[in-house]
Amino acid sequence: MPSTFWMKLTFLIAMGFLALGVTACGERERDVDTAAAEGILLMGNGGEPRSLDPHLVTGVPENRIIQALIEGLIAYHPDDDTLPEPGIAESWEHNEDYTVWTFNLREDAQWTNGDPVVAGDFVYSWERILSPALGAEYAEMLYVINNAEAFHQGEIDDFSQVGVRAIDDRTLEVQLKGPTPHFLLMLKHYSFYPVNPRVVEEHGGMTDRQSGWSTVENYVGNGPFRLTHWSTNEVLEVEKNPDYWDADTVQLNGIRFFPIENVNTEFTAFQGGRLHVTNVVPADRIPSLREQMPDQLIIEPYLGSYFYRLNVTREPFDDPRVREALALAIDRSLIVERVTQGGQAVATGFVPEGITGYQPTDAVGHDPERAQALLAQAGYPGGQGFPETEILINTSENHRKVAEAIQAMWRETLGIEVGIYNQEWKVYLDSQSSLDYDISRSGWIADYVHPMTFLELFTTGNGNNDTGWSNTQYDRLIRQAQAATTEDQRIDLLTQAEGILMEDLPVVPIYWYTRVYMRDPRVQGWNAKILDYRPYKYVSLSTS
């Protein structure tokens, strides 16, 4: 149970006192100082996590928490997202063409229920996420494994035919369907994380989406921290796991994740000394913060794409001319210079710049005259007759400001009126995945440093597609890229695939991210990372 101090902090956030800024200066200092002295990191985490089951989540807020609780074969490197870090696997080998990988598991890894972590746990877990009955949205991530796609699509039902096997408790062999030198980077992602077979079976079994295993009462992990408290929409608490194999490295005693969706409330919490790290920063505050708090305002490279999904199953978005008109009517330079103001780059394609060996496309630009002509060709000259349309955003003032800017651009250039409505994080995700929207504010942060992590999203039936779009030629190119025999061949195929995506435009790129947030200078071991995921065991808090 939380201490009186933490209960007080949670109550103040929930009641909105942070937004009102009513605490005195001395009290504002007390929370982060007390937490630092106790070795407790206070983090703003955006939305309330949808779940803590690594096989049933898709978002960044969930990932930040899960990586504290569960460790995969490969862990996040402390300062370089292009490098692997030993996790449950203490070493590994691969054959000459990177199609067969062998992982040697450490003997001292164990679950928080006392079970040893064994190779069979990974076999069970990968069968679980690939089981069609589970309906995991990230199952396609594992298609790199031989026969994984066939099993997930129900073409075979014998999981022993899938390319993963436990040679013994400490040795896991994985056979891939094509040469994949970047496989180690993929394994950092939570879709490859193990779950404890015994606790999953005790609470409904492998394919039960409503399983109680991932509740605070039943959660079993193998990571540097363990779950201790979860008050919905208030706070989620983890504490150091004394049985973690590398517990001596862990310097924090705990982390408190606060799901504060309102960016101004979160910023006020930081100013008031109640958070060490925020999730975001109000965009309109960035210029002044550059001058007033340069040691606490953090702007870092971030490998991600901010875009709008279009529901192509609804009129008029089933017409590619309408989709292109919407894309061409957006002045992206104005958005990054006047609205977001955090050093973001204009998105000229879906895959962002920053991936070695991949040349970003310049397929998408700003062309108001062509946008108007295309909309007229589609039957809506000057916007006449265009149906009522809304932009769905998850609750955030920053997202609303971008939507309002685009709303004004579409009104001025195309003559169409578009509404805006927001939903809290979990409801927003459900609306998007069920195609219950017209246009949806979206973002995609790389799961690993490779263009594949962006482009495989939009294959037919992918759990993260969420547009209704399907293209046979695109699917073929992605499958060929997954099985390509050389990296040059893979990059060429992915470049062709992105060309199709940007021609059909089921998504409208807007900008390529930077990571903009506030950080207390006392937070140590928190290095710039292009994926923004840090191994918490290397993070500490100074008290000076």
Place 124 in a pLDDT band, splitting at 50, 70 and 90.
Answer: very high
Both 454 and 505 in one domain: the answer is yes
Both 38 and 100 in one domain: the answer is no
Both 387 and 492 in one domain: the answer is yes
How many whole angstroms separate alpha carbon 79 and alpha carbon 88?
A: 19
Residue 91 exposed, middle or buried by CB count within 10 Å (0-12, 13-18, 19+): exposed
Place 348 in a pLDDT band, splitting at 50, 70 and 90.
Answer: very high
Per-residue pLDDT tens digits for 361-409:
999 999 999 999 999 999 999 999 999 999 999 999 999 999 999 999 9
Q: If we measure between CA atoms, which residue out of 512, 524, 505 comes closest to residue 323?
A: 505
On the question of pLDDT at 197 being above 60, the answer is yes
Q: Is 114 helix (H, G, I), strand (E, B) or coil?
A: coil
**pLDDT at residue number 376:** 98
| Within-domain flag for 285 | no
Q: Where are the beta strands (DSSP E) in 176-311?
A: 225-231, 235-240, 254-258, 297-310
Number of other residues whose CB lies within 10 A of the CB of residue 313: 11
Residue 391 exposed, middle or buried by CB count within 10 Å (0-12, 13-18, 19+): buried
Token digits for 291? 């001058």
- The answer to whether residues 339 and 405 touch, using CB atoms and an 8 Å cutoff, is yes
Helices 368-377 & 320-328 angle (0-180, nearest 10): 160
| Within-domain flag for 161 | yes
What range defines the domain where residue 407 resides?
A: 302-515
**What is the torsion angle, in degrees rounded to the nearest 10, for the CA atoms of residue 529, residue 532, residue 536 and residue 541?**
80
Starting at the edge strand that comes first in sequence, how are the strands of the sheet with 171-175 ordered? 89-94, 100-105, 171-175, 164-168
On the question of pLDDT at 4 being above 70, the answer is no
The CATH number of residue 95's host domain is 3.90.76.10
- The tokens 């799961």 sit on which residue? 447
| Within-domain flag for 524 | yes
Both 140 and 92 in one domain: the answer is yes
| Within-domain flag for 409 | yes
- Report the chain's terminal Cα–Cα distance, integer Å: 29
How many whole angstroms separate alpha carbon 75 and alpha carbon 80?
A: 11
Number of other residues whose CB lies within 10 A of the CB of residue 150: 16
Average pLDDT, the chain: 94
Determine if the pTM surpasses 0.85.
yes
Both 269 and 408 in one domain: the answer is no
How many whole angstroms separate alpha carbon 366 and alpha carbon 517?
A: 29
| Within-domain flag for 139 | yes
Q: Where are the beta strands (DSSP E) in 432-518?
A: 439-445, 507-518
Element (H, E) at 418: strand 418-423
| Within-domain flag for 215 | no
Both 31 and 112 in one domain: the answer is no
Per-residue pLDDT tens digits for 531-542:
999 999 999 999
Both 510 and 531 in one domain: the answer is no
**pLDDT at residue number 478:** 96
The CATH number of residue 232's host domain is 3.40.190.10
β-strand partners of 541? 523
How many whole angstroms separate alpha carbon 472 and alpha carbon 157?
A: 25
Q: If we measure between CA atoms, which residue out of 264, 89, 75, 76 comes closest to residue 166?
A: 89
Region 105-122: mean pLDDT is 98
Per-residue pLDDT tens digits for 409-468:
999 999 999 999 999 999 999 999 999 999 999 999 999 999 999 999 999 999 999 999
Both 376 and 495 in one domain: the answer is yes
Per-residue pLDDT tens digits for 5-55:
344 444 444 434 343 333 333 444 459 999 999 999 999 999 899 999 999
Place 544 in a pLDDT band, splitting at 50, 70 and 90.
Answer: confident
Residue 531, phi then psi, degrees to nearest 5: -100, -10
Both 45 and 78 in one domain: the answer is no
Both 319 and 384 in one domain: the answer is yes
**pLDDT at residue number 66:** 98
The CATH number of residue 411's host domain is 3.10.105.10
Number of other residues whose CB lies within 10 A of the CB of residue 154: 10
* 8-state DSSP, 285: G
Per-residue pLDDT tens digits for 263-301:
999 999 999 999 999 999 999 999 999 999 999 999 999
* 8-state DSSP, 531: T
- The answer to whether residues 281 and 518 touch, using CB atoms and an 8 Å cutoff, is yes
Region 500-517: mean pLDDT is 98
Instruction: Output the CA–CA distances (angstroms, integers) from residue 332 to 199, 306, 367, 376, in the order listed.
Output: 49, 11, 11, 23
| Within-domain flag for 246 | yes
> Domain tally for the chain?
3
Both 76 and 164 in one domain: the answer is yes
| Within-domain flag for 162 | yes
Region 330-348: mean pLDDT is 98
- The answer to whether residues 176 and 163 touch, using CB atoms and an 8 Å cutoff, is yes
Both 528 and 502 in one domain: the answer is no
540 contact partners, CB below 8 Å, separation of at least 6: 39, 251, 252, 523, 524, 525
Place 543 in a pLDDT band, splitting at 50, 70 and 90.
Answer: confident
